Amino acid sequence: MSDATKPTESPAAKAARLDTTDELAKLRDRFVLDDATVYLDGNSLGALPAGVQDRIADVVGREWGQLRIRSWTESGWWTAPERIGDRIGALTGAAPGQIVAGDSTSVNVFKAVVGAVRMAQQADPARDEVLVDATTFPTDGYIAESAARMTGCAIRAVDAADIAAAAGPRTAVALVNHVDYRTGRLHDLPGTTAAVHAAGALVVWDLCHTAGALPVGLDEHGVDLAVGCTYKYLNGGPGAPAYLYVRRDLQPRFDSPLPGWNSHRDPFAMEAAYRPADGSVRGRVGTPEILSLLALDTALDVWDGVSLDAVRAKSLALTDFFLECVAAYVPDGVVRSVTPAEHAERGSQVALRCSDAGAVMGELIARGVVGDFREPDILRFGFTPLYTRFADAERAARVLAQVLEGTR
Ligand SMILES: *Cc1c(COP(=O)(O)O)cnc(C)c1O
C-alpha cells in the first residue's frame, strides 16, 4: 500500500505497532518500573535495574558483614574500579585498560582538564588557553575555569559547534559536552576531535548524556581524554561513580593533579615519595566507593548482549515519534522543540520550550509523566531505549497536550 492510500494510523495505533516490532522491548523487564508512571527522566537518574537490590544485600551482608577486610582481595573490591571501567569501555568504544571508574564527574573533569593541560604544555609551554563549550553543564565550566587558573591558562567559552574552528596555536585543551544537557543537541565528536588535534591541542569529552544512549567510539575517533557519569543512561543509581578515560598512548604522560595513594605504583608500600602506577590505575585517587561501584557493576549487566546500534536506532525512533505525537496533539506554536531535527545532531532527549514550563512540568508529574524542567523555559524528556516504550512517548505527548490545554 502506498502512503497515499494507507488509512491514517492514529498515534496510539502506531505506538502499539512500533512496540510490537521493537527488538529491545523485552529489556524493560530487567528494570523496576510500573505502568502508573511514564518515566522520561532517565537522562537525569536512570531507573533501577532488577538485581541491584540483591547484589547490594549480598555485598553488605556477606562481603562486608562476614568477610569484612578479606573482601578487598577475596571479593575483588580493590580492582573493581578498573574492572568496571573496562565494562564502561565496552559501551563507549574503549579497549580494556583505559577507563577507571570512581569519583564524581566533577572530580574527573578536574583530573582530565589539568592532566590534559599539563600534557599540552609539556609539548609546547606557549599553549595557555582552555576552550570550553559556552552552554556547558555548569560544573564542567566552573571546574575548567579553576583548572585553567591553576595552570596559567585563560579560559574561553565558545559554542561547541565552533570549537573546531576556534582551536589554535595557543589552545592547550578543549572541554566539550558530547550532548548539550539542555537542548539535547549532539556535537560532532569525530570532526571536533580531528580539528582540535590539527591545531595541536587535546580534547576532553564529557559523555554524561551519551554513554549508554549511543555508540561513542572513543578509540575509533582518537579521543584524548573523556569523563562521564553512570547514573543517567547507564542506570548506576543516585551518585553512582563516574569514570575517566585516558587514551593508552597518553597514559605514561598523564600527570594527575590528584595523585592519591590508590594511584601509586605500590600503594601498600606506603612510600613517602609518589610514584605513579601505569595504565588506567593512574586515574584513581582514594579508596573506591565500593557499595555504589558494585551497584553499578550489577546495573551494567542489563547491557549483556545489547547492541548499541540497536539502542541508537530505537532512541532516534522514540524521539522522532514523540515529536510526531506532540505535533499531532499540541496546537501549533504552543511549544517549540529546541532539539535538532537532524538525527546526526540529536542525543536521546527532547527539549521543548514553552511558557510557564516549571508549572507545566509540575502538572505533568502530577499526572504520571515524569520529565524535568530546566531554567528558564525548558521541558526535558529523556528517552532511555532499554525501557521506554513507544506507548510511553504517545501517552506523554497526549498528557502534555491536556496539561497545556488546561493552562492556556
Ligand atoms: C550530569 C552531568 C554532570 C554531573 O556531574 P556530577 O559531578 O555527577 O554532579 C556533569 N556534566 C555533565 C555534562 C552532566 O550532564
Query: Atom 5 (ligand 1): residue with closest C-alpha?
Result: 105
* Every domain of the chain and the residues it spans: 11-30+306-407, 54-303
Atom of ligand 1 nearest to the CA of 108: 7
8 is in an annotated binding site: no
Residues of the chain falling short of pLDDT 70 = 1-7, 407-408
Centre of ligand 1 from the C-alpha of residue 104, in Å? 8
Look-up of cell digits 610514584: 275
CA distance 76 to 236: 19
pLDDT at 121: 98
Closest CA to 330 of 314, 350, 354: 354
Query: Atom 14 (ligand 1): residue with closest C-alpha?
Result: 208
Query: Atom 2 (ligand 1): residue with closest C-alpha?
Result: 208
Atom of ligand 1 nearest to the CA of 105: 7
- For 54-303, CATH gives 3.40.640.10
Residue 217 cell numbers, joined:
567510539
135 is in an annotated binding site: no
pLDDT at 5: 57
Residues with catalytic roles: 137, 206, 231-232, 380
105 is in an annotated binding site: yes
pLDDT at 274: 98
Peptide bond into 376 cis (omega under 30): yes
Looking at domain 11-30+306-407, its CATH architecture is: Alpha-Beta Complex (3.90)
Centre of ligand 1 from the C-alpha of residue 247, in Å? 21
Closest CA to 174 of 125, 134, 219, 221: 134
pLDDT at 1: 46
139 is in an annotated binding site: yes
Classify residue 342 by burial, with Cβ atoms within 10 Å: 0-12, 13-18, 19+.
Answer: exposed
- Measured at the CA of 59, the angle between CA 55 and CA 64, to 5 degrees, comes to 170
* pTM over 0.85, yes/no: yes
Query: Atom 1 (ligand 1): residue with closest C-alpha?
Result: 208
Pocket of ligand 1, beta carbon within 6 A: 104-106, 137, 139-140, 177, 181, 206, 208-209, 229, 242
CB atoms within 10 A of CB 200: 16
Mutation pick for ligand 1 pocket among 109, 135, 137, 234 (CB with most ligand atoms within 8 Å): 137
Centre of ligand 1 from the C-alpha of residue 137, in Å? 7
Centre of ligand 1 from the C-alpha of residue 68, in Å? 33
Query: Atom 13 (ligand 1): residue with closest C-alpha?
Result: 137
Segment holding 51, helix H or strand E = none
Question: Whole-angstrom distance between the N-terminal and C-terminal Cα of the chain?
Answer: 40
Atom of ligand 1 nearest to the CA of 177: 13
Buried residues in 360-386 as b, exposed as e (16+ CB within 10 A): bbebbeebebbbbbbeebbbbbbbbbb
* DSSP codes of every residue in 275-336: -BPSGGGGG--SS--HHHHHHHHHHGGGGTT--HHHHHHHHHHHHHHHHHHHHHHSPTTS-E
Atom of ligand 1 nearest to the CA of 179: 13
Contact 165, 191 (CB under 8 A): no
Centre of ligand 1 from the C-alpha of residue 75, in Å? 30
259 is in an annotated binding site: no
pLDDT at 406: 84
